[in-house]
Amino acid sequence: MSDAAIVPVAPPTAVRRTGLKFALSLVLGSPGGLCGVIILSLFVIVAVLGPLLTFGDHMEIHYLADKSVARLLTPGQHAPLGTDYYGRDIYTQLILGTRTALIVSIISTAFMAIVGTNIGLFAAYYGGRIDTLLMRITDLAFAVPFLPFAVILVVLLKPSLWNIIITISCLMWRTTARVIRAQALSVKQRTYVRAARVAGASDLRIIFVHIFPNILPLSLLYVAFGISWAVLSEASLSFLGFGDPNTASWGQMLYNAYISGSIRSAWWWTVPPGLCLTLFVIAVFLVGRELETYINPRLR
C-alpha cells in the first residue's frame, strides 16, 4: 500500500470533542442562542443564590405599623415587588420559585433522558420481540393523556413537589424513546458497528460505546425541549391546585392569585411569574433551536 493511500483517522474522543465544540460554537455564535444561554445562566444563578437574595421565608406574613396585614401592597411600598393577598412577599416567592422550576426540570428531564434513551437503544439494537414489547409499552404511554393522568396521580399520591416530578417523569420519556429508536436503527447498520460485532464486542459495549455516542446529540436536543415542557407541566398542575402548597413556585403564585380573586387587579402578583415562565421557555427554545441546527445541517 502506498503512502498516499494511508488516511489518518482521528480517535473517537477527538471526534467527539470536536463535535461538542462545534455545537457550542453554533449556540454561542448566533444571537438567539447566546441570548438563550445568558437568560438560562441568570435563572441558574438566581436559583443557586436564592436564599441569599430573599428576605426570609416565602410563607411569612408581613404586617403594617398598625398591626394589620400588609395585603396587596404595590411594589415599593413594603417589598420590592409588593405583597400578595395574604401579606406575603412576592419577590421572595418569585426567587424561590426559580429553584423549584430548575429542580423539577432537571430531575424530570434526567429521568426522561435515561429511560427514553435506553428504551430506544435496546429496542433498536435487539429488534424482534424486545423491540415489539418496548414499543407497545411506548404506544401505551402515548395513549395516556397527560393532564388527566397527572391530576389523578397527584391526587392519589397527595400534592407535593416530588410527586409532581414523578408524575411528569412517568410520561415524559415516550417521545425520546421513539425518536432515539429511529436514529439507532440507522446507526447500528454502519460498518464500524458490524466490525465491532465481528470482533467479539459484547452487546452492551456495542450499544453504549459505538451506538450511543452517535445518538447523544439527538438525546441532548430532546433534553433541552423536555426542560421547558417539565416547567410548564409543573406550572399547569400548580395553577390547577395540585401543587405543593408549602413550596414556592411560579404556578402556585398564579393559583393563589386566582383563588383570592386578585388575578386581574394585582398585576404585580401575576405578571412576574408569568414573565419568568415566558422567558424560561423562550430561552430553552432558543438554545434547543441552535442544537437542532447541529443535528440537522440542512437548517444552517
Predicted confidence (pLDDT) at residue 129 exceeds the cutoff of 90: yes
CA 186 from chain centre, in angstroms, equals 27
pLDDT classification of 177: cutoffs 50, 70, 90: very high
Residue 220: pLDDT above 90? no
Stretch 91-112: mean pLDDT, rounded?
A: 92
* Residue 34's pLDDT band (cuts 50, 70, 90): confident
Query: Is residue 188 assigned to a domain?
Result: yes
Residue-averaged pLDDT of the chain: 84
pLDDT attached to residue 43: 94
Residue 107 lies in a domain: yes
**Residue percentage of the chain with pLDDT more than 70:** 88
Average pLDDT over residues 190-216: 88
Give residue 271's domain range: 48-62+69-299
Whether pLDDT at 6 is above 50: no
Rounded mean pLDDT, 226-255: 89
- Residue 40 above 50 pLDDT? yes
Residue 180's pLDDT band (cuts 50, 70, 90): very high
Let me know if residue 13 belongs to a domain: no
Average pLDDT over residues 68-73: 87
pLDDT average, residue stretch 43-50: 90
**pLDDT at residue 50, rounded to an integer:** 83
Q: What is the pLDDT of residue 161?
A: 86
Summarize the confidence of residues 76-80 as an average pLDDT: 78
Q: What is the pTM of this model?
A: 0.82
> Does 199 map to a domain?
yes
Question: 250-271, pLDDT tens digit by residue?
Answer: 999 999 999 988 888 889 999 9
Domain-embedded: residue 295: yes
CATH assignment of the domain containing 110: 1.10.3720.10
In a domain, 20, yes or no: no
Total tally of structural domains belonging to the chain: 1
> Which range has the worst mean pLDDT, 27-31, 80-84, 129-133?
27-31
